[in-house]
Amino acid sequence: MTSLWNTALGDTGVPFQMGEPLSRHTTFRIGGAAEYYASPKSIPELERLLAACRTQGIPYFILGKGSNLLVGDRGIPGLTIAMEGLSAITVEGERVTAQGGASLMAVCAAARQAGLAGLEFAYGIPGQVGGGVYMNAGAYGGELKDVLIQVEFLDEGGKRHTLPVEKLEMGYRHSFFTGKNCVILSACFCLEKDSEGPEAVGARMEEIYRRRREKQPLEWPSAGSTFKRPEGAYAAALIDQCGLKGFRVGGAQVSEKHAGFVINAGGATCADVLALIGEVQRIVKEKTGFILEPEVRVTGEN
In order of 2, 88, 102, 172, 264, the CA distances from 219 in angstroms are: 40, 29, 23, 27, 10
d(CA 169, CA 178): 10
DSSP state of 194: -
Biggest CA-to-CA distance, the chain: 60
Alpha helices in the chain (DSSP H): 2-10, 43-56, 104-113, 129-134, 198-215, 235-241, 270-288
Q: Which amino acid is present at 73?
A: D
For 65, residues 6+ apart whose C-beta sits below 8 A from its C-beta are 27, 84, 103, 126, 127, 128, 131
- Which positions are catalytic? 173, 225, 295
